[in-house]
Chains A and B, each alone.
Chain A
């Protein structure tokens, strides 16, 4: 590659990453700004974080959001796994098209429409809205994402491995549990994390599906943000960003470690050539 092209490539990458990260970095820096004003640097301070600890409403909402994310991500991962197994392994059963369409539809449906549909349904059934309806809403929203992620993983997973297991005496469920499941374990973790972050982040579905007792963190943030930039919101945003950064860092470290192990394996192989050859 020519020097000019290489230079242009680096400049593009730099510009792209600045665009992606600058707003986040600025937000983080602002959370340590002693001044209330965005444009004035009033010195380093952690007072907004301290103030968070006294904001019981916000802490309560954070707990609700975390609980809803945990429960709904668990249910969505389980349902997504079952749906993915049905779509990947059961062949062309009747009503497959309906099932496939219905599972994937929330992916392209505007969240406002899904939220509206859920709310009308809860109202029509006379169900009181609260934590349970919030979880139902989030499972319905995130299940399509977990299904897609797990379906892709199952399709990548060689079906002859399961055939080999059955050939060696494993029943079909046994073959799935002992052979396919370990293969897609990383995808299951990814699907769970995806559902978890989507639920933790969701504002629209939650606004429709939840009730007065179960206001989520994004709903609190939203109602404050509408009033303008607030240092406390900067602080809680930074905390949420840090949480995700740590999680992503761990995931990267694990995959790096696994790749390293494979690399070592390859080196062992290079040192001891096949004796038969």
Chain B
């Protein structure tokens, strides 16, 4: 990554006694699709509002292209936002909504017409320019909001839960459209979401946030396969947490209550208490053979896989995904195997 477009340095923000952001530092490159992911109340929306200029950080600095933004009001920032509620102006039609930012910049009428038509085409709204906002469907409104925010050619587009109000089917379709538009416009997108699937599907890089702090910044695959903390492992995707003691000699492994699980030790010392995070689909399930013995306590059919809840010890139940074709019943004995590198070893939480 060359010089970052957006740099956030040690930003903190409190609302009364509530800490919304604590020492957050992030960098977003030009043309990057970046996601802020976290549960509600983690501070992701506050961070976005700080970037847009609706909130001022108590400490720290936000700079765009190396220019400090503190004290710059929202209407002078070359950053536009797509609101979660879309915030479309109900008294203006589709065309005028999209033209709003251009008119504020005082562009010539012809230039505005051309630009709006271009955006209408890009968002597949071409013949809807004169529609009133309350005559649009949810998906159309979402595209008008996107076109309106893109119209003034912002250096960076902020998207607050852009797919949150859409139903499941429309969401996937729209994910592809968003990616396509981002690629076409070469604009940096920063998306705020609580939906891990959305972040994994869309973003080049993801920052996982929790209680005002950034837990991990990495690409989608790394976030999924190599979560940095127990929180990230638990929040993104499904996982099993296996507690145990690390032994490093004769092939590193975690000694758990119910058996020995091979793992990569990282830089944890011999004998350390640690937690292994293993995704259900990385656990091998066989009727018999090597591996940890258990019995099926319950199962849910998920189409491609069947998720089993396997009891392996008095008080330990692991979730494992069995491949298509094999039928299991409650009470069946199974053997669980853990290929090397199946999980990620996490140090005890501070």
CB neighbours of B148 from chain A (8 A): 164, 168
Q: Decide if A265 is an interface residue (CB 8 Å cutoff).
A: yes
CB-based contact B137/A168 at 8 Å: no
Among B128-136, B228-236, B245-253, B300-308, the one that faces the other chain is B128-136
Beyond A160-B85, A165-B100, A269-B137, is A183–B75 a contact (Cβ under 8 Å)?
no
Q: Which of B85, B135, B149 has the largest number of chain A CB atoms within 10 A?
A: B135
Interface size class of B (residues with CB under 8 A): 35 or more
Q: Which of A165, A166, A179, A275 has the largest number of chain B CB atoms within 10 A?
A: A166
CB neighbours of A164 from chain B (8 A): 81, 83, 87-89, 148
Q: Which residue of A lies closest to B148 (CB)?
A: A168
CB-based contact A277/B83 at 8 Å: no
Beyond A160-B87, A161-B87, A266-B135, is A274–B140 a contact (Cβ under 8 Å)?
yes
Interface size class of A (residues with CB under 8 A): 20 to 34
Among B57-65, B166-174, B190-198, B274-282, the one that faces the other chain is B166-174
Q: Decide if A98 is an interface residue (CB 8 Å cutoff).
A: no
In the complex, what distance in Å separates the CA atom of A161 from the CA atom of B88? 7
CB-based contact B137/A277 at 8 Å: yes
Q: Decide if A4 is an interface residue (CB 8 Å cutoff).
A: no
Q: Decide if A128 is an interface residue (CB 8 Å cutoff).
A: no
Q: Which residue of A lies closest to B54 (CB)?
A: A163
Q: Which of A161, A165, A169, A174 has the largest number of chain B CB atoms within 10 A?
A: A169
CB neighbours of A276 from chain B (8 A): 124, 139-140, 143, 170, 173-174, 177
Binding site secondary structure of chain A: helix
In the complex, what distance in Å separates the CA atom of A138 from the CA atom of B54? 40
Q: Decide if B350 is an interface residue (CB 8 Å cutoff).
A: no
Q: Decide if B105 is an interface residue (CB 8 Å cutoff).
A: yes
Q: Which residue of A lies closest to B138 (CB)?
A: A274
CB-based contact B140/A168 at 8 Å: no
Chain B stretch 72-119: residues in CB contact (< 8 A) with chain A: 73-76, 79-81, 83, 85, 87-91, 100-101, 104-105
Q: Decide if A249 is an interface residue (CB 8 Å cutoff).
A: no
In the complex, what distance in Å separates the CA atom of A70 from the CA atom of B112? 42
Q: Decide if A46 is an interface residue (CB 8 Å cutoff).
A: no
Q: Which residue of B lies closest to A276 (CB)?
A: B139
CB-based contact B75/A170 at 8 Å: yes
In the complex, what distance in Å separates the CA atom of A277 from the CA atom of B138? 10
Q: Decide if B212 is an interface residue (CB 8 Å cutoff).
A: no
Q: Which residue of B lies closest to A261 (CB)?
A: B132
In the complex, what distance in Å separates the CA atom of A140 from the CA atom of B174? 55
CB-based contact A166/B75 at 8 Å: yes
CB-based contact A265/B132 at 8 Å: yes
Distance in Å: Cβ of A89 to nearest Cβ of chain B? 14
CB-based contact B91/A183 at 8 Å: yes
In the complex, what distance in Å separates the CA atom of A158 from the CA atom of B104? 21
Distance in Å: Cβ of A181 to nearest Cβ of chain B? 9
Q: Decide if B52 is an interface residue (CB 8 Å cutoff).
A: yes
CB neighbours of B52 from chain A (8 A): 167
CB-based contact B89/A163 at 8 Å: no
CB neighbours of A158 from chain B (8 A): 85, 87
Chain A stretch 86-102: residues in CB contact (< 8 A) with chain B: none
As a 0/1 sequence over residues 242 to 267 of chain A, the CB contacts with chain B under 8 angstroms (1 = contact) are: 00000000000000000000100110
Q: Decide if B162 is an interface residue (CB 8 Å cutoff).
A: no
CB-based contact A167/B75 at 8 Å: yes
CB neighbours of B140 from chain A (8 A): 274, 276
Q: Decide if B152 is an interface residue (CB 8 Å cutoff).
A: yes
In the complex, what distance in Å separates the CA atom of A175 from the CA atom of B104? 10
Q: Decide if A6 is an interface residue (CB 8 Å cutoff).
A: no
Partner of A277, one of B89, B91, B169: B169
In the complex, what distance in Å separates the CA atom of A165 from the CA atom of B169? 31
Q: Which of B52, B104, B105, B169 has the largest number of chain A CB atoms within 10 A?
A: B104
CB-based contact B137/A163 at 8 Å: no
CB neighbours of A171 from chain B (8 A): 73, 75
In the complex, what distance in Å separates the CA atom of A170 from the CA atom of B148? 14
As a 0/1 sequence over residues 10 to 32 of chain B, the CB contacts with chain A under 8 angstroms (1 = contact) are: 00000000000000000000000
> What are 26 sample pairs from A and B whose C-beta atoms fall under 8 A apart?
A158-B85, A158-B87, A163-B74, A163-B83, A164-B88, A165-B89, A167-B52, A167-B74, A167-B80, A167-B81, A168-B75, A168-B80, A168-B101, A168-B104, A169-B75, A169-B104, A170-B75, A183-B91, A262-B134, A274-B137, A274-B140, A276-B170, A276-B173, A277-B137, A277-B139, A277-B170
In the complex, besides A164-B81, A274-B137, 14 extra interface pairs with C-beta distance below 8 angstroms are: A163-B83, A164-B87, A164-B89, A166-B75, A167-B53, A167-B75, A172-B75, A174-B104, A265-B132, A266-B135, A269-B136, A273-B137, A277-B137, A277-B169
Shortest 3 CB-CB distances between A and B: which pairs? A168-B101, A169-B104, A265-B135
Measuring CB to CB, which residues of chain B are less than 8 angstroms from any residue of chain A? 52-54, 73-76, 79-81, 83, 85, 87-91, 100-101, 104-105, 124, 132, 134-140, 143, 148-149, 152, 169-170, 173-174, 177
